[in-house]
């Protein structure tokens, strides 16, 4: 199965390090970042879970819940959590799914046979409160994920939704945004009374109020 952007993501019931989870209910009205690992006790993923735990308050401040996944058993997860705390300096502070039967991996298309027919690839899914997939990444085994970038795209998605804008390359909060071509100049004057700069008719930059 291959999930497409804006599709409602599959629901599931499963065990985790924080007890049984029914995914859609667990999300409530929040955003979620679901990210997978090929196995427990893998070095790159150990660093990622430590960094995600360090940044968890930043995600929570944006109304985003973090949840990890590995195909190993729950008892292995608890041992791995001890290693994460000891080596990364941050204790695991969000659920880690025990997908030993591959139920979630299958529904979310996390197994790529050309990479490994039995293990999940290292994917990231950003899911909005409507349970719709808004963004996904897939990383190779040797390259650690950039959680600062995941925070950045969450900021961009939430800003785009809230203000009816698009965000330019490398955008960060507080920087100019783009008025989408689907919004006419007439409508833009109502939505963006602060005005805009247009180096080209299709490229209109504006600043959002704080």
Active site residues: 45
- Distances in Å between the Cα of 34 and the Cα atoms of 82, 94, 104 are 21, 11, 11
């Amino acid at each position: 199965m291959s999930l497409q952007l804006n599709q409602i993501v599959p629901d599931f019931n499963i065990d985790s390090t924080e007890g049984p989870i029914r995914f859609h209910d667990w999300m409530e009205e929040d955003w979620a970042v679901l990210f997978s690992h090929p196995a427990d006790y893998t070095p790159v993923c150990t660093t990622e879970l430590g960094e995600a735990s360090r940044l968890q308050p930043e995600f929570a401040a944006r109304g985003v819940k973090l949840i990890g996944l590995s195909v190993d058993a729950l008892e292995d997860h608890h041992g791995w959590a001890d290693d994460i705390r000891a080596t990364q300096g941050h204790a695991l502070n969000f659920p880690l799914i025990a997908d030993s039967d591959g139920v979630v991996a299958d529904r979310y298309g996390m197994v790529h046979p050309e990479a490994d027919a039995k293990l999940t690839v290292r994917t990231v899914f950003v899911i909005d409160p409507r349970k719709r997939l808004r963004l996904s990444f897939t990383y190779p085994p040797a390259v650690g994920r950039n959680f600062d970038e995941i925070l950045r795209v969450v900021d961009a998605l939430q800003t785009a939704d809230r203000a009816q804008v698009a965000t330019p390359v490398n955008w960060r909060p507080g920087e100019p945004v783009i008025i989408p071509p689907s919004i006419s100049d007439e409508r833009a004057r109502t939505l963006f009374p602060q005005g805009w700069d247009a180096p080209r008719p299709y490229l209109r930059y504006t600043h959002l109020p704080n």
